[in-house]
Chain A
C-alpha cells in the first residue's frame, strides 16, 4: 500500500498540513509576531537580550553598493556563513570552511571565487531567497564548530536539533544530520537524515531519510543506536525559553551544539514542518492535547522542560511499546 488510511493516521495522532495551518499556526501564532522570527537579525538580538548564546555576527550588508565592502569584511575570517536575513527553509545559505587568497572553499571541497560570493550576496539583497521576493539583507556569521559527539554522524555540515515548542513546552525533538545527498544542508526534503530524539533523555529513537527508516548514516555508515545528545537539559531549556522570547505558541527552535561554546540557537521558525513526526514515529496531536489540557503555563522555562521530560519520555509514553521496539530493532 502506498497510501496510509486516514483513520489510522488519525488514531496515531499524526497532524497534517491543513490541521497544522489551521489548528496550530493560525491559532497560537499571532501574525504580528512573525517578523521576530522571519527576520534572523531580530531573532538574534532577542536571543542575546535573553542571554541565549547565538553564533557570532561578523557583519551585515543592506544595500547593493555594500557588496564592494564584502572583501574587506571577509578578509579577517577563514570560516564563515553567509545567510539571507529573511530566508526560509535554509535557502540561500552559503558556508565557507576555508579561505585561501582569492579562493573560498565550500564544505564539499568546491572552490569558488570572491566574485561568486559577491553574486550570491547580490542575489540575496535583491530578494531572491526572501518570502515574497522582498528586498533582503545579508548576515555573515561565524561558522559553528562540529561537536565531536557528532563526528561520523554528519557529512560536510553541521547537524542541528529541531525542537517543537508548544506554548512553551518542548513536545518533540529531532536531530537533522547532513548527508552527501542534502549537499551539506540539514533539510529533510533534500535528503538529510532526521533522527527522532527522546525528549526525556536526548537519545536517538529512530531515523529516517526520504521518509524511509535508516539504521545508519548513509555516507559514514555509523549506526544511530548509541547516539545521545549531550547538554540535553540545557538544549530543552533554551528551546522552552524561546516562548517568552517570541510569544509564539507553536514554534520550531533550531539549535546547534558548538564544540567550544556549547548549545546555541541559530534560528526560530513560526511554521515548523511535520516531518518530525515521521522521524519520531509518533504524532504531535496527543502531545499537543496534553499541553492544551493544562490550566496554566508555568512561567519558568526550566520547570516546563522538566514537565516535558516527564510527560513525553519514550519510556512512559502511551506509544511506548512501539518506540522501544524500534530501539531494540537497531543492531548494537
Chain B
C-alpha cells in the first residue's frame, strides 16, 4: 500500500510537471498548441526627412514602447553618417540622431517589426495622471466652452458618457454656435485633440493625447492618428476623437502617449515624417521562440532551441521515438500483439516516415521476402552463425542497392528512399523470421511479422501526424506525460485483448456447462 502510494505520487508528479510546463509555455510564453497558428507580423517604417541648415543637427524622435500585448521582433535605425543613441525617459523612449555639420536634404529611418499577442495590458501603477491644469480661454471661448459643457453634462450620467457625448457634440454635422466658435473647419487634428483635453480639464477630468498608427497592409505615406486617453475610475480609457467611440481599435499601434513632441529637429527645417506598413504572416511558434530567447526565459534558453538547426532537426526525429515506444507498450500490454523484436517496429516506423507508407511497406516486404529466400539457401551452406548473419547483412545491402538502381532506371523515385531502412535491423529481422520459420512454421512468421508491421504502421500514423510531430518537438515536456502513462501501463495487470480471445473457450464452457 505504501509503495503503491509512492508510485502514484511519482506518476502524478511526473505528469504534473509535464502538464505544468506545457501550460506554462502555452499561457505564459504563448506557444500555440496547434501547428497551424500564424500571427500577422507588421513591419513599420518611419521615414524622417528634413533639410539641414549647415550646422550641428540633432533629431529626436519618439519611439513606441513595448507592452505585454505588443512584442517587438526587431528594431532598426538607419541614417548614414549620423551618431545614434536611444534614450529612455519617464515619458517614453526616444531615438536621437546627431551630426556635427549637415547640409541639404537628410533622411533618417526607423524600422520596427512587431506582432500583437492576446495578453491584456494591465494599467501600471506609475501611470497616474497629474492634476488637470485649468486652461485659460479668452472671454468668448470660455463662455462657449462652459455652455457646451453644461449641455453635455445634462445629457450624461458618468464621466465615460460625458466624454463620449462631448466628443460627439464637437463632431456633430450641424454645429451649434458655441461649437463653431470652439472648433472650425480649418482647425487641425492636433488643435481638436488639445481642445478636447482642455474642455475635459475644465470639467476636472484628466486626459492626455495619444498618437498611434493604423496598421494596414501595404500602406505608404501614413501619418499618426490622434486619440484622447481619459483617466476614468482608476484607469486610462482610449477615445476616438472623431467619433467618441471608446476602446483601442483593431490593428492599431499606440506610438506615443502624452504631450511631448513626436519629432524634434534641431538645426533643420521642413521636417516631415511618414510611415509605411507591411504585413506578413509568420508561424507563431517561431515568433515565440525568438521572443523568449531575447527575454532569456530560462526554459527556452536551456532547451533544444538553443542547439544549432541541424541538431534541432535530429531531435525532431529523436523526440518522436517516445511516441513510438508508447504505441509499442500499448500494443503489447493492452492489445497483446506479438512482434518480432520489441522495438523493431519503431525503427520500421522511422523508416516509413522517410519513405511514405505504401512505398515503405512494399519495400519492406520485398526486402524481407527476398532476404528470406536467400537466407533459406544460406542455411543449407552450413555456415557459422555470426558468418551467416553477416552474409545476410551483405545480401540485404545488395537487395537494397538493386532496388534503388532498378527503380531509378524505371523512373520510380520513391523506391530510392529504400536506403532509409535500418539495414542491420532488417538483417536481424530476416534471420529471426527464418529461424522462426524453421522452428515454428510459417504461421508464427505471419503472426509475428504481421504484428510487427501492424505496430509499425500504427506507430507511423502517429509519428507522421503533423500535430504530433509539432507537439513532440515544441513541447518536449510531453515526454514526461508520456513517461507517466508508460509507468501506469507498467502496472496494468488486467487482461490483454488477445487473452480475451485466448481464453474465450473457458467462458463458453462455463455458460453451457452450468447445470
A2 pairs with B504, CB closer than 8 A: yes
Give B380's nearest chain A residue, CB to CB. Answer: A119
Chain B contacts for A212, CB-based, 8 A: 505
A 11-24 binary contact with B (CB < 8 Å = 1; else 0): 01010111100110
A189 pairs with B506, CB closer than 8 A: no
B424 to chain A, nearest CB (A): 13
A283 to chain B, nearest CB (A): 8
A223 proximal to B (CB < 8 A):
no
Chain B contacts for A112, CB-based, 8 A: none
A325 pairs with B495, CB closer than 8 A: no
CA distance A6 to B386 in the complex (A): 45
Chain B contacts for A201, CB-based, 8 A: none
Contacts A8-B507, A8-B510 given; does A16 touch B384 at CB 8 Å: no
CA distance A127 to B510 in the complex (A): 44
A26 to chain B, nearest CB (A): 10
Q: Which of A3, A14, A278, A281 has the most CB of B within 10 A?
A: A3
B499 pairs with A16, CB closer than 8 A: yes
Q: Which of A2, A64, A189 contacts B384 (CB 8 A)?
A: A64
Chain A contacts for B444, CB-based, 8 A: 189
A5 pairs with B507, CB closer than 8 A: yes
Q: Which of B440, B496, B504, B514 contacts A322 (CB 8 A)?
A: B514
Chain B contacts for A5, CB-based, 8 A: 500, 507
B493 pairs with A325, CB closer than 8 A: no
B173 proximal to A (CB < 8 A):
no
Q: Which of B336, B382, B492, B506 contacts A119 (CB 8 A)?
A: B382
CA distance A325 to B513 in the complex (A): 7
A4 pairs with B385, CB closer than 8 A: no
A9 proximal to B (CB < 8 A):
yes
Q: Which of A4, A19, A23 contacts B506 (CB 8 A)?
A: A4
Q: Which of A12, A17, A190, A208 contacts B441 (CB 8 A)?
A: A190
A190 pairs with B494, CB closer than 8 A: no
B507 pairs with A4, CB closer than 8 A: yes
A62 proximal to B (CB < 8 A):
no
Contacts A190-B440, A322-B514 given; does A17 touch B506 at CB 8 Å: no
Q: Which of A17, A22, A281 contacts B499 (CB 8 A)?
A: A17
Chain B contacts for A322, CB-based, 8 A: 509-510, 513-514
A 269-287 binary contact with B (CB < 8 Å = 1; else 0): 0000000011001000000
CA distance A128 to B435 in the complex (A): 8
CA distance A10 to B497 in the complex (A): 14
What number of B residues sit within 8 Å (CB to CB) of A?
Answer: 33
Interface residues of A in 314-329 (CB under 8 A from B): 321-322, 325-326
Chain A contacts for B441, CB-based, 8 A: 190
A211 proximal to B (CB < 8 A):
yes
A22 pairs with B382, CB closer than 8 A: no
B503 proximal to A (CB < 8 A):
yes
A122 proximal to B (CB < 8 A):
yes
B491 proximal to A (CB < 8 A):
yes
B508 to chain A, nearest CB (A): 8
A222 proximal to B (CB < 8 A):
no
B429 to chain A, nearest CB (A): 13
CA distance A12 to B493 in the complex (A): 16
Chain A contacts for B514, CB-based, 8 A: 321-322
Contacts A119-B382, A128-B385 given; does A18 touch B494 at CB 8 Å: yes
B374 to chain A, nearest CB (A): 18
A19 pairs with B493, CB closer than 8 A: yes
B 471-515 binary contact with A (CB < 8 Å = 1; else 0): 000000000000000000001111111011111111111100111
6 contacts between A and B (CB under 8 A): A3-B497, A3-B504, A4-B507, A19-B493, A128-B435, A277-B506
